[in-house]
Amino acid sequence: AEIVAANLCGDDRRFGGSDVSRKLKLMGVDVASFGDYETSDETVCSTVFSDPVAGTYRRLVFSKGGNHLVGGILIGDAADYGTLLSYAQSQEALPCSAGDLTAGSAGGATAVGTDMLPDSGQVCSSSNFSGTVPQHGEVSRGNRISARR
């Protein structure tokens, strides 16, 4: 709507696409995808963790050096979806190894907590809230509404 309004007012703006990241439950199975999980570009590499006994599969796509998460697919266990999505949307280097993220909670690795999210990481998707609450002066619902934009 913002792009349409801008164009109607004479501002030549283009829609750059939208975030198609999703987390669903299909027939009792958690399924999630985020970022660019289909790329086969030479600047990226994929890691896979599969546990047929537990019924889980996780493929993550990283920059060639493993410093940035580009996208991924989670099947059977999507508990780390929010954290992984924040990493993929951030331009900051990962705070842990690609292997730790690939193994995730299904591999027995220590879960990466919100304290390791980048400053730009999304804290609450329902309110589109990023950063720290004190940074935005969050003390009441009225402040929250004005701080989120």
Strand (E) or helix (H) holding 58 = strand 56-63
Mean pLDDT lowest among 35-44, 70-79, 84-93, 129-138: 129-138
pTM: 0.62
Q: At the topology level of CATH, where does 19-115 sit?
A: Enolase-like; domain 1 (3.30.390)
Inform me whether the pLDDT recorded for 79 exceeds 60.
Answer: yes
Percent of the chain with pLDDT strictly greater than 70: 66
Amino acid at 133: V
What residue spans define the domains of the chain? 19-115, 119-149
**Which residues lie closer than 8 Å to 112 by C-beta, 6 or more apart?**
80, 83, 95, 96, 100, 101
pLDDT in tens, 102-142: 887 644 444 445 555 555 555 555 444 555 545 555 544 44
pLDDT in tens, 80-89: 999 999 999 9
> Using an 8 Å Cβ cutoff, are 102 and 60 in contact?
yes
